[in-house]
């Protein structure tokens, strides 16, 4: 009788130990995934900051080189300020959408300014402006890669949060799905390109 009680106790302790090790391993992989998502988002923000810094540099170049419409510069400055005041929570899709909208407004305002600059050959020929054009192209590519890497890390994390049996640990420990980075509304449509060749 005593022997069977000891065996039962050993079996129960063995199961508790196995479940404990499995639970710790599952929890740690969720923590690792969560940190990877945050790191990936940090890389996206770093590349956006690089773009913003480049925009600031070219604005100074333009200001020093030409007397252009101040309203265009004002739009860029306001869009940059709005972007600076926008915070992102990767757990909240609305927060991500707001940040993405602010990035779009900044890019649009800057595109308008760049279109106006095309009329100023003095600006286009300055070394700093030419350098900017090369750097901004590389930065846009980096932003795109960082967004893709972010979405890959979100996918991996979300699969861990949703799949059985880790979803049990995720539910107990409060791990929730993360928001994906989405494309700008309307970007799924091909742009309308018109060449006015006569």
pLDDT tens digit sequence for 95-145:
888 888 888 888 888 777 777 766 666 666 566 667 777 888 888 889 889
Q: Is residue 106 part of a domain?
A: yes
Instruction: Tell me the CA distances in angstroms from 170 to 15, 160, 166, 188, one per residue in order.
Output: 21, 8, 6, 34
**Residues 160, 35: Cα–Cα separation, whole Å:** 13
Query: Has residue 27 got a pLDDT over 50?
Result: yes
pLDDT tens digit sequence for 151-178:
999 999 999 999 998 999 999 999 999 9
Query: In this structure, how many other beta carbons lie within 10 angstroms of the beta carbon of residue 116?
Result: 17
Q: Is residue 136 part of a domain?
A: yes
Query: In this structure, how many other beta carbons lie within 10 angstroms of the beta carbon of residue 145?
Result: 12
Burial 162-193 (b: 16+ CB within 10 A, else e): eeeebbebbeeeebeebbebeeeeeeeeeeee
Q: Is residue 79 part of a domain?
A: yes
Query: In this structure, how many other beta carbons lie within 10 angstroms of the beta carbon of residue 195?
Result: 4
The answer to whether the beta carbons of residues 96 and 86 sit under 8 Å apart is: no
Q: Is residue 111 part of a domain?
A: yes
**Residues 136, 124: Cα–Cα separation, whole Å:** 15
Structural domains counted in the chain:
1
Q: Is residue 9 part of a domain?
A: no
pLDDT tens digit sequence for 59-104:
776 666 555 556 666 777 788 778 777 888 888 888 888 888 888 8
Taking the model in full, what pTM does it have?
0.67
Helix, strand, coil share of the chain (percent; to 5): 75, 0, 25
> In this predicted structure, what is the pLDDT of residue 182?
82
Distance linking the first and last C-alpha atoms of the chain: 102
> In this predicted structure, what is the pLDDT of residue 34?
92
Q: Is residue 23 part of a domain?
A: no
Mean pLDDT for 37-48 is 90
At residue 196 the predicted structure's pLDDT band, cuts being 50, 70 and 90, is: very low
Helices assigned H by DSSP within 118-165:
121-124, 127-162
Q: Is residue 12 part of a domain?
A: no
Enclosing domain of residue 47: 40-141
Contacts 24+ apart (CB under 8 A), 186-195: none
Q: Which helix (H) or strand (E) holds 74?
A: helix 70-84
Q: Is residue 24 part of a domain?
A: no
């Amino acid at each position: 009788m005593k022997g069977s009680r000891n065996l039962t106790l050993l079996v129960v302790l063995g199961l508790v130990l196995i479940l404990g090790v499995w639970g710790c391993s599952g929890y740690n992989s969720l923590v690792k995934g969560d940190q990877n998502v945050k790191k990936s988002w940090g890389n996206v923000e770093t590349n956006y900051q690089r773009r913003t810094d480049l925009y600031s540099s070219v604005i100074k170049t333009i200001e020093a080189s030409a007397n252009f419409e101040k309203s265009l510069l004002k739009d860029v400055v306001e869009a940059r300020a709005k972007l600076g005041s926008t915070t992102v929570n990767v757990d909240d899709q609305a927060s991500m959408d707001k940040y993405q909208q602010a990035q779009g407004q900044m890019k649009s305002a800057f595109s308008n300014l760049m279109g106006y600059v095309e009329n100023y050959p003095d600006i286009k020929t300055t070394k700093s402006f030419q350098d900017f054009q090369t750097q901004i192209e590389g930065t846009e590519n980096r932003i795109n890669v960082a967004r893709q890497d972010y979405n890959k890390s979100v996918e991996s994390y979300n699969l861990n949060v949703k799949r059985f049996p880790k979803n049990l640990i995720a539910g107990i420990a409060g791990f929730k799905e993360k928001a994906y980075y989405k494309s700008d509304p309307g970007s799924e449509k091909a742009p309308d390109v018109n060449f006015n060749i006569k």
